[in-house]
Amino acid sequence: MQLSSRLVAVLALGTALVSPPALAEMSGTLNLNGATGLIDMPSGDAQRDSTFSFSTTLLGPITRSTLSFQFSERLSGSFRFQTWRDWNSELPGPDKESDRSIDLRYQVLKEGKYTPALTIGLQDLTAKGLFGSEYIAATKTFGDKLKVTAGLGWGRLGSDGGIGSPFGSRPPVDPTGTPNADQWFRGEAAPFAGVEYKLNDSWTLKGEYSSDAYVVEDRRGLIERDSPFNFGVEYQRGPATRFGAYSLGGKEFALAFHIILDPKSRPTGGVTGRAPEPVKARPARAADPEAYDGGWVTQADAGSLLRKNLAKRLAVDGIAVENLSYNATTVQVRIRNGRIDAGSQAIGRTARALSHVMPASVEVFEIVPVVNGVGVSKVTIRRSDLEALEYTADNSTLLRERVTIGEAGPVPDYALGDENLYPKFRWGLRPVVRLGEPIKGDIGLRLSAAYDLAPGLVLSGSIYKEIASNRDPGTSKSPLPHVRTDSGRYNEFGDPALERLTLAWFARPGENLYSRVTFGYLERMHAGVSGEVLWKPVDSPLALGVEVNYTKQRDTDGGLGFGEYDYDIVTGHVSAYYDFGNGYLGQLDVGRYLAGDVGATVSVDRVFANGWRVGAFATVTDVSPEDFGEAGFDKGVRLTIPFNWALGTDNRRAVGLTFRPGSGDGGARVNVEDRLYDPIREYHSDGLDPDWGRVWR
């Protein structure tokens, strides 16, 4: 597949991910593949919008681990990792003991009074022959206990009980891992069907007629299958866990375990922490006119006293006061939020503190969030609105209608800073889990430190020491420069390793413009200099950016040297970011990558107000699928889970995971800390509005 056609396929995928969701809801159970379905077969059902699941299946010598996410009420995706024990490489067929695959499914019709739910799906859509299949499945509910499913499958799901090839023959599989669109819904088609009967809220019985002959596994003697009929029983323990036991094909026994999570709901019920202080109401002007006298601004020590009192109140919430400026009617405070995960809540806590500190004549509160020493927006709140709306129904909506969010603007000349804020040293020692793939990785300790030299100027770095690992170092045979495929050598020889050591400068070169320059050891494999400029208006869903990097590949021992590789390169990208609403963010990057290849990356993420983030990405470049390697081109899914979602405490830390069906040197970018878009968007309208209700918490 040429670059142009691959790029069209990737852009089509990105468009599908942000299609508007429907309004109805339906929830189905999960099958042995970790997708919505019966036992082995899919169904027409869908999970509830934003449902995330992790599934593990044991079937004889087969282990499947699957991550699935319901991107919208109609579209869902899965990333699956499968291993076979007792794999005999001497037999014909695939010579690997593991396989990674990506699925997509789209619910065309939701179930109605007389019509079934109807879903079209692609299983292992970048197939190399093991699981590649397509299906159409319809499911109808009868009463509140019985569901009936019927469908038609192709590829692997058309391998038993075929009824012909309605759309023509199926061409051979493309072994490079690129989307096999010419195979989709081609070849022998086979029907499948099944029923689910819900005994009660905990127990469900399942039975199905399967169209999967397990051809590869049967040929190798891994699976015995005498019948197309499968049966199972499942137990639901609370809303988050489900267990299943199954009889497959009359010979095999399988177990499944599913964890089902809703990113919209915290398991702890909410974030615990210090309750907010009530707004301090001023006396009525008629009752105490002297309180509104602005003469206090002439007092020599007024500013330092006000700043000290405000900083003391905000410190308990992890908010630092960068500087304070004021006149008789308006105060502007620039804050650095170090702990609260919601920008709107940090704004609200600051406004409440100002109501306690500032004299009654001050009516306007201008709150400027600062990220990496740079003001990113200005939230203007009238004090009288805070006083009037605190105990009003729907007070967050009413307050937002009266609040303005605009450009931060420059720091006022008369602003009062704190000489104790800069320079400032910070450090931490934390356990780390690094996954190369779902069941392989390492655990260790990361010592990180940062030294804030001045506003916008940060010296930082980290050192990693491995404790345990099950990674395979491997040997790269890539014809491209080994900008990523030698990562196993870095894991093997770089222990301990200096991961990063950088000096970064953040600035505001103009209105709606933000910049970053980072110099030093940017990541464990590459060092150099990285520069970025971002255009992002406060109230715009669109942002544009440009990044240019010059990098040189580091030695594998994790030290300071460069002698092992004689490789340096200039890379760069032009980027467009767009907020589609409802938490959907899209990004398109076009430019030159680390291996010298040229192409584009498209990504779509679903971002939730509580910090959850789930997305998918794909990169196509002018590197041929054969030269790229096993995966054909770079694609995958990524997941970010905030600690406070699980712990229920104020915390801005999160764990991030990225899963790829395979990796190569093509489409690789340098990993630079603190790229501009995400931290800046957090305090713009599109970042503050989704969780604006927390302004009163």
Condensed to tens digits (0 to 9), the pLDDT of residues 125-161 reads: 875 667 889 999 999 999 989 999 999 999 999 999 9
**What pLDDT, in 10s, does the model give residues 573-586?**
999 999 999 889 99
**What value does the mean pLDDT of the chain take?**
88
pLDDT tens digits, one per residue of 337-381: 988 888 999 999 999 999 999 999 999 999 999 999 999 999 999
End-to-end CA distance of the chain: 53
Report helix angle 343-357 to 302-315, nearest 10: 140
What are the residue boundaries of the structural domains of the chain, listed by start? 24-261, 289-420, 446-685
Confirm if 621 and 667 have CB atoms less than 8 A apart.
Answer: yes
The pLDDT score that the predictor gives to residue 187 is 93
Across 27-46, average pLDDT: 94
Lowest-pLDDT range of 5-9, 281-285, 653-657: 5-9
Q: φ and ψ at 535, to 5 degrees?
A: -100, 115
pLDDT band at 89 (very low <50, low <70, confident <90, very high): low
CA distance 464 to 485: 20
What fold is seen in the domain 289-420?
GMP Synthetase; Chain A, domain 3 (3.30.300)
| DSSP states along 87-121 | --TTSSS---SEEEEEEEEEEEE---SSS-EEEEE
The answer to whether 65 touches 43, Cβ cutoff 8 Å, is no
Q: Looking at the predicted structure, is the pLDDT value of residue 494 above 60?
A: yes
- Answer whether 0.75 is exceeded by the pTM: yes
Specify the CATH superfamily of domain 24-261.
monomeric porin ompg (2.40.160.40)
pLDDT at 678 over 50: yes
Spatial distance between the Cα atoms of 602 and 583, rounded to a whole number of angstroms: 17
pLDDT in tens, 397-449: 999 999 999 999 999 888 888 878 889 999 999 988 887 665 677 889 999 99
Q: Scanning the structure block, which residue is given the tokens 């907010």?
A: 276
Rounded distance between C-alpha atoms, residue 153 and residue 137, angstroms: 8
Per the document, the length of the chain is 697
Answer with the residue of higher pLDDT: 217 or 571: 571
**Average pLDDT for residues 664-670, to the nearest whole number?**
91
Helix (H) or strand (E) holding 522: none
Say what the pLDDT of residue 129 is: 61
pLDDT of 45 over the 60 cut = yes
Tell whether the model's pLDDT for residue 683 goes beyond 60: yes
Distance CA 202, CA 44 (A): 22
The CA distances from residue 544 to 240, 576, 577, 580, in Å, are 40, 5, 6, 15
pLDDT on residue 94: 54
Residue 244 in contact with residue 106, Cβ under 8 Å?
no
Whether residue 518 has pLDDT greater than 80: yes
Residue 499's DSSP bridge partners are: none
**Local confidence band at 248 (pLDDT 50, 70, 90 cut-offs):** very high
**What per-residue confidence (pLDDT) applies to 17?**
36
